Amino acid sequence: MSEQLSVNRSLFDQVMVPNYAPGAMIPVRGKGSRVWDQDGREYIDFAGGIAVNSLGHAHPELVKALTEQANNLWHVSNVLTNEPALRLAQKLCNLTFADRVFFANSGAEANEAAFKLARRYAWEHSGEEKNEIIACYNSFHGRTLFTVSVGGQAKYTEGFRPAPGGITHVEYNNLEALKGAISDKTCAVVVEPIQGEGGIVPASQAYLEGVRALCDQHNALLVFDEIQTGVGRTGDLYAYMNYGVAPDILTSAKGLGGGFPVAAMLTTEKVAASFGVGTHGSTYGGNPLACAVAEKVIDIVSDPAVLAAVKTKSALFFSLLNEINQELNIFDEIRGRGLLIGCALKEKWKGQAKDVLNAAISEGLMVLVAGPDVVRLAPSLIIPDEDIKAGMVLFKKALQAVIAAQKS
């Protein structure tokens, strides 16, 4: 019998590529909105695996769906299709603007497919000159070379250039900037309805309506990146539904699998036709295990009562956060929608979002950051109210610790 390997945080530094800097504690078990580490210490989870654990940890219906599928069929590749993938695709089409679905494994892959499809569609219908993609500064669309190039943050392409060309960036929520950049050479405009990594900044109603109109005017496709905002996160199944502005292509991942890796690109029949046989693919995309779990997630989250509860829980979060801020006066703005919330630090505290995260962990609470100046909360969509209230007590203590540390 082989010797049991000792697993601790220091092992990470010995065996893993150093592109991450994970915290000291290692979670080993989760249930609902609670997590336990190697020492048995309990945490309340306001991070949700970066908006991924949409139904918390070890949700019994997801466990059942995965287990049942695992006993039947794991993988067949795309030489054949499978029942879970077809059922999931049908449900996504029934519930959204879309007629067709492409499955992948991650948000970056879904966006890669979306950007390739946009260029392919323009090439087929308008010729090679119509290839320019317009995106927004401070956006985030993934970590492949194409997706970081479309994402408007130069730090993510540093050291990896030359980057793919034909990509322009404009200021988010600024319709005049887009008007100045869009032309008949534009094949697609890419927008997050709420900028996630860029600080949890919602688009205005007028902006998204204007973007749609400009795309129509210039025969360009509108791509909504709903990797983070999709699958109930904002209180609607997809954030575009709240705006009443439908895209031509939408990407979905993160919460779609409730923790199991899966992603989808949704589009119309007309646009989908440009991805003919052999033009794009994914070995694991549409995997039966992933699709069985995602189908159950969609079944649960699309329930109007669940979506309504997201909005109620959101109101509780905002109420408690505003109470804390009235006392501590540490945030400039508390923004977002549904259970995607950004707490923007005041000038005095800018750059200290990571300090808040670390202080929260010390108190037994898991939170996130969205850049150096914004603390991000993205808990389970079904987090119990008592966990919200208990977590807010810990969050206040963490903020007080950060304030005290700066004074000392």
* Domain assignments of the chain as residue spans, ordered by start: 9-60+304-407, 73-301
Whether 264 and 288 have beta carbons less than 8 Å apart is answered as no
State the pLDDT confidence band at 287, using cuts at 50, 70 and 90. very high
H or E element, residue 285: none
Q: Up-side HSE of residue 380: CA atoms within 13 Å toward CB?
A: 25
**Mean local confidence (pLDDT), 52-71:** 98
Helices assigned H by DSSP within 218-253: 240-243
> Domain 9-60+304-407's class?
alpha beta
- What is the arithmetic mean of pLDDT over 348-371? 97
Beta bridge mates, 265: 102, 251
With beta carbons less than 8 A apart as the criterion, state whether 252 and 223 touch: no
pLDDT tier at 4, thresholds 50, 70, 90: low
Q: Which is it for the CA torsion 36, 233, 359, 7, positive or negative?
A: positive
3-state secondary structure of 143: coil
> What does the alpha-carbon distance between residue 140 and residue 151 come to, in Å, rounded to a whole number?
5
Domain 73-301 has CATH 3.40.640.10: yes
pTM: 0.96
Give the three-state DSSP class for 183: coil
pLDDT, average across residues 108-135 = 98
CB contact at 8 A, 369 and 37: no
**DSSP 8-class letter at 188:** E
Q: What is the mean pLDDT of the chain?
A: 96
Mean pLDDT across the stretch 98-111?
98
Please report, as a single letter, which amino acid is at residue 133. Answer: I
For 209, phi and psi rounded to 5 degrees?
-60, -40
- Cα–Cα distance measured from residue 345 to residue 360, given in angstroms and rounded to the nearest whole number: 15
DSSP assignment letter at 61: H
pLDDT band at 20 (very low <50, low <70, confident <90, very high): confident
Alpha helices in 185-337 (DSSP H): 205-217, 240-243, 269-272, 288-301, 304-328
Kindly report which listed range (7-11, 138-142, 245-249, 367-371) carries the lowest average pLDDT score: 7-11
| pLDDT at residue 272 in the model | 98
Residue 84 pLDDT greater than 50, yes or no:
yes
Mean pLDDT of 247-268: 98
Please report, as a single letter, which amino acid is at residue 124: E
CA–CA gap between residue 243 and residue 183 (Å, rounded): 25
pLDDT given for residue 1 in this prediction: 43
Give yes or no for a contact between 89 and 298, defined as CB atoms under 8 angstroms apart.
Answer: no
